[in-house]
Structure 1
Amino acid sequence: MNEAQRFEYGFGAQVMGPDWTRFSLWAPSASRVDLEVEGLDVIAMTHAGEGRFVGEATCDHAARYRYRVFTDGAAEGIAVSDPASRAQAGGIEGPSLVIDPYRHAWRHADWRGRPWRETVLYELHLGTLGGLAKARQHLPYLAELGITAVELMPVSAFPGTRNWGYDGVLPYAVDDTYGDPDALKAFIDDAHGLGLMVFLDVVYNHFGPDGNYLPRYAEAFFRHDRQTPWGPAIDFRQPMVRRFFIENALMWLDEYRFDGLRLDAVHAIAERDFLVELAETLRSHLDPRRYMYLVLENEHNDAELLEDGHFIAQWNDDWHNVMHVLLTGEREGYYADFADSPTDKLARSLGEGFVYQGDATRQGTPRGSPSAHLPPTAFVAFLQNHDQVGNRALGERLTLLAEPQALEAATLLLLLSPMVPLLFMGEEWASQRPFLFFTDHRAELAGAVREGRRAEFAAFSAFQDPVSRDAIPDPNDAATFEASRPDFAARETSPHAEWLTFVRRLLAIRHAEIVPRLEGARALGAEALDEGAVVARWQMNDDTRLVIAVNLSEQPAATRAFGVGRHLYETREGAAVAAESGNLPARCAVAWLKSEPGDEELSA
């Protein structure tokens, strides 16, 4: 869409012309709503049906406003921010700001995005980088490294001054600790100029526990017959609730020109058809010449959502979890489902996508659906991300948990396999800084979060006694946030500089050798060679076969001697020759492109 095709939103403040703004609030539990715009008399909003209240005011960009909502015949209303506020002055408790989304003069307005096969994701947290202005300074480095898509953790307004973003309560507003809407647009504009796509992590499954006033005047927004880990489920049976989130997604993709969205934890959304409606609506409203991608996080491993083109890919937690077991030996928590026969599970993931395809978990519950028919690019693979690092009690990265040569082999598999790879900020230089869970809640809630987090790890062997549990960093302590800032200066020092060179080299190989062959590529299967050792093969689109052999164990693995064509990279000198002679060395990985016909297998 362009300015002449402005979408008429059903929520929030919409600038209609000079000194003319329309306001809309869904408040089905309210009997009356007043609009309070700074400098103007109070405006009584009109009930427009379906629980909507609308009003107009002679104001435009940067005007400050609030709603005063009256319920149950109360004489005194409560002042609330606009749940569809585009920006706040002074945090979530401050006044909302009218934002004209078409003020930004885009320098790269002709940007259309990049084909999905070219995607190399880099997840980052804006707060730990110092906000949008400082994060922009890192974009040239990421483009030079070989990253093609930056993925931002949620930017929606949250309580306090620091948060992962998953406690957001104003989904339309850019948190003012990161910058204003224009700063976000400038970040995206710069990225597009460097050839970088930008993705946003959005949370449509819950609101944060602090500062969410929707239950006071829109009780129908939630359903109390179904609970999630964060409280009552959002009621997507309600048409206005669906519209609220669909319009939010449209705003990010149209007004901010994000290239894609990653939908957080959609397994917590009971109404699966909402996800389909969301995807279909977005595609019907956006310029069809643009590449636009929707990616899922979904514990249900629902392959059907990836079949019809609505969603391009899913974060493959199965791949991560089995890799983590093999690299660290950890078997507690959700790793327990991957502790038995992890090598076979890795082979299944490489050959078919999901590990769990209707199989029973350790609780005896079937999980997932068949996925072998999906292309490899339907899966986003990662060794680390905000969840898998930050949800650890001490936030340790794999650089502190895994043997270095094994981690090097795993990184080759990550960056050269046909799955879409994701790196977490700092991973590319093997950062040893933790990424911890941090918040900035008010006193009572802060204490509950601190104790709840310590109780969460009480069942783990490393935190059986109170002393060890008390050593778990307090999420609300500012020092926890400060400790999570990436150590960019370390990139220039040994051994981090060497690791950065290694990652840069692998990404160069990916773009030169793998990406051009990815369209139409398909898995040919994978198999275990020995404990911790796997070989996987993919048919590429030019009749070549990509072969990757990885051995994460401390023992060599036997292979059948065979010729494999041109080898792309080996993490240990001589590993390719040894593997071709029947012996894959310990803790190494080798990738080849095989062009000659034949049915040789790299197997014992």
Structure 2
Amino acid sequence: MTTRFGPVLRPDGTLFRLWAPDAKRVSLALPEGDPIPMRAGQEGFFELMRPDARAGQRYRFLIGDQPIPDPASRRQEGDVMGWSVVRADLPPLRRPTPPRPWHEVVLAELHVGTATPEGSFEALIGRLDHFVDCGITAIELMPVADFPGRRNWGYDGVLPFAPDEAYGSPAALRVLVDAAHERGLGVMLDVVYNHFGPEGNFLPLIARRFFTEAHHTPWGAAIDLEQPLVRRFFVENALMWLGEYDFDGLRFDAVHAFAPPGGDLLLAELAEACRALKPEAWLVLENDHNAARWLERDGDGQPRFYTAQWNDDAHHALHVTATGEGSGYYADYAEDPVAALGRALAEGFVYQGEASAHRDGQPRGEVSARLPPQAFVNFAQNHDQIGNRPLGDRLAAALEPERLAFLRFLLLMGPAIPMVFQGEEAGLETPFPFFCDFSGDLAEAVRQGRAREFSEFFATAGELPDPLAPETMEAARLPWERMTPAALAAFQTLAAQRRRLVWPLLATAYHGAELRREGAILSWRWGFDAGVLCLLANPDVVPSEIQLQPRQDGVTAGDAVFDGTHTRLGPWSACAWVEPT
């Protein structure tokens, strides 16, 4: 696909381009000399060829007298209001490696700024061996798109083509991906196409049609995805990450916020373009609508559109079962959390068209039972579910070790793709509160908005961390000295058992799941060509038993006792094994 956004570096110079259909005149500003008027072209683009501009050239645009960065800047110097930079070619691949099969993925979600003490792409390279040693096979970077200030969660980006300079250069990011591949680690990137951050976004000034007042999102007016060039902007962005940086896959944030009907067009175009460039790419959705149609497989079991979806239903069922919390959106799972847990692990979505009380009784979701388990990414924690708590507290700060072990067992020994949040593999309690780096009235609006949000969800929020304070982000940095062999041993053992028992099954055709419940005990059987994965779990505070005998080479968590015909499961215990077909 020919790129239409951002500068084009040619042997005879650089072609500068800006889509500004609402601008009457646009000029190119360089650090030296007077602004240079740009020529108005077709479809609202302004262009200017500069023979003297090469890689590293700093530039910005002037709309009248208003300086703005290039919305498609590939590199930004001096934050979002600084100079855009013509990026040189990225370093070539040092050693091409075949992609890891999706069914072998054990995923760790990372925030580049807090995953290491230094908070950079380069520093993360020095920690990659940790993930390999743990049995984690892929990492997912939270958004790295350029944001205002030096600190951000990642979801306030305004220049989606430019890695934020707080983390390092584009070349450093490319080297990080390469270094991961050399160790056999896959790398995903979280991208945000549903909104822009509240500071530093000049698109409304130059292209009002980029947004529509006909639909609103939690972040304001929706992006107008009925506009072909708006969709093209995001498709080109996705192709850049997959092609130029060689990411193995992308996670598309909150696609349920895409304004209809253009949202479906964008989802279809993204899938088609990404698969044309990299057929094996891992394309993962976050979609509160539980739209199973985007996860369908073809006759060979390959994804027609998207590889998988983050399964919030599974998270909510796990969370309510383990914690007993039932406020806010957890209320939809609180009436019978064990039943919700059973269905989520057996069929993917808990809500497959049923009415949701949290959504004013509206039906939610589509039938997902026919989909293979690999169409879902399951987790007990992620950045949202930790950071959207008042204190950013993790489960490890409140739950007993046996409940944490129980959740870890269900994730790693179940057939869905498991994901942990940075440090969860060691059971760290390190908080991950929301943080950002705004100033003035916007900073105060963020403080007040967070307080209102928590007052609606949590009965008593207490004293909140100041999201604007540097120490709030500092509190989220991982204490690597606590990533000890002893702290990691349980995760490593289960990851090894997943390789032994689960991976061989997931490599073969899926035939469906059976769910059985006897009292508190849940029993799952997932059928594959290569065998049947069986899992028993007792998500209760009292022991229980079932007339079922696991195989001798199975795996257990907690207090599981077999007497020849019955299995007795103590509180928060489980076992898993494989039977022949």
Q: Please indicate, yes or no, whether the TM-score normalized by the shorter chain is above 0.5.
A: yes
The alignment status of 1:106 with 2:103, answered yes or no, reads no
- After TM superposition, what 4+ stretches of structure 1 lie above 6 angstroms from structure 2? none
CA distance in 2, matches of 1:472, 1:536: 41
Give yes or no for contact 1:350–1:525 (8 Å, CA) kept in 2. Answer: no
Alignment match, 1:45: 38
Q: 2: distance between equivalents of 1:461 and 1:67?
A: 45
Q: Post-superposition shift, 1:336? A: 0.6
Out of 362, 365, 376, the residue aligned to residue 365 of structure 1 is 362
Question: Which position in structure 2 is the counterpart of 1:555?
Answer: 542
1:424 is matched with which residue?
Answer: 421
- Tell me the amino acid that sits aligned with residue 16 of structure 2: F
Distance in 2 of aligned mates of 1:233 and 1:441: 22
Letter in 2 for 1:390: G
Q: Within 1, Cα distance between the matches of 2:287 and 2:458?
A: 28
CA contact (8 A) 1:127 1:178 kept: yes
Q: Distance in 1 between matches of 2:394 and 2:165?
A: 29
The answer to whether the 8 Å contact 1:88/1:95 transfers is: yes
Deviation at 1:148, TM superposition (A): 1.2
2:579 is the alignment partner of 1:594: yes
Q: Which residue of 2 aligns with 1:601?
A: none
SS in 2 for 1:566: coil
Which position in structure 1 is the counterpart of 2:566?
A: 581
Task: Give distance in 2, aligned partners of 1:541 and 1:40.
Answer: 69
- State the match for 2:399 in structure 1: 402
Give structure 1 stretches of 5+ with no counterpart: 1-6, 71-76, 598-604
Shift of 1:499: 4.0
Are 1:83 and 2:83 counterparts?
no
Q: Is the 1:393–1:472 contact (alpha carbons within 8 Å) kept by the matching residues of 2?
A: yes
Look up the match of 2:471: 479
Q: Any unmatched runs of 5+ in structure 2?
A: 298-303
Pick from 55, 61, 72 the counterpart of residue 67 of structure 1: 61
Distance 1:233 1:355 in 2: 28
Q: Structure 2 residue aligned with 1:568, among 546, 549, 554? A: 554
SS in structure 1 at match of 2:503:
helix
Asked if the contact 1:92–1:159 (Cα under 8 Å) also holds between the matched residues in 2, the reply is yes
Residue of structure 2 in register with 1:4 after alignment:
none
1:498-537 → structure 2 map (5 Å cutoff): 498-519=486-507, 520-531=509-520, 533-537=521-525
CA distance change for structure 1 residues 84 and 578 in 2, over 3 Å: closer, same or farther? farther
Q: 1:193 aligns with which of 182, 196, 199?
A: 182
Q: State percent identity of aligned pairs.
A: 45
- Structure 1 Cα separation of the partners of residues 189 and 456 of structure 2: 34
Separation in structure 1 between the aligned mates of residue 20 and residue 522 of structure 2, nearest angstrom: 56
Alignment match of 2:296 (pick from 307, 325, 328)? 307
Deviations 1:89-139 (A, max 9, x none): 110010100002x3413212x223111111111100001121111111111
What SS does the aligned partner of 1:294 have? Answer: strand
* TM-score, with length taken from structure 1: 0.91
Specify the SS of the correspondent of 2:175.
helix
Distance 2:552 2:15 in 1: 64
Query: Deviations along 1:143-197, whole A, 9 cap, x unmatched?
Result: 1211111100000000110101100000000000000100000100100100111
Q: How far did 1:263 drift? A: 0.1
Shift of residue 461, structure 1, vs aligned partner? 5.1
The range that moved more, 443-452 or 259-268, is: 443-452
Are residue 202 (structure 1) and residue 203 (structure 2) matched?
no
Distance 1:324 1:87, change over 3 A: same
SS in 1 for 2:483: helix
TM-score (norm 2): 0.95
> Where does 1:117-156 land on structure 2 (aligned, <5 Å)?
117-128=103-114, 129=116, 130-156=119-145
Residue type of the alignment partner of 2:213: H
For 2:269, the aligned partner's letter is E
- Superposed, which structure 2 residues align to 1:43-442 within 5 Å? 43-57=36-50, 58-70=52-64, 77-100=65-88, 102-108=89-95, 110-128=96-114, 129=116, 130-270=119-259, 271-284=263-276, 286-288=277-279, 291-308=280-297, 309-362=304-357, 363-442=360-439
Q: Distance in 1 between matches of 2:503 and 2:433?
A: 34
Q: Supply the AA of the counterpart residue of 2:9.
A: V
1:8 aligned residue: 2
AA of the residue aligned to 2:451? R
Cα pair 2:561 2:567 within 8 Å, conserved: no
Pair 1:415–1:401, CA change in 2 (3 A): same
Q: C-alpha deviations, 1:491-539, integer Å up to 9, x for none?
A: 22xxxx43410000111111122112112234322233323x3111111
Shift of residue 576, structure 1, vs aligned partner: 4.5
CA distance in 2, matches of 1:473, 1:568: 45
2:300 aligned residue: none
Question: Whole-Å Cα distance in 1 between the matches of residues 526 and 372 of structure 2?
Answer: 10
The verdict on how the C-alpha distance between 1:528 and 1:489 changes in structure 2, with shifts beyond 3 A counting, is same
| Aligned 8 A contact 1:35 1:42 in 2 | yes
Q: CA RMSD in A?
A: 1.5
Cα offset, 1:401, TM superposition = 2.5
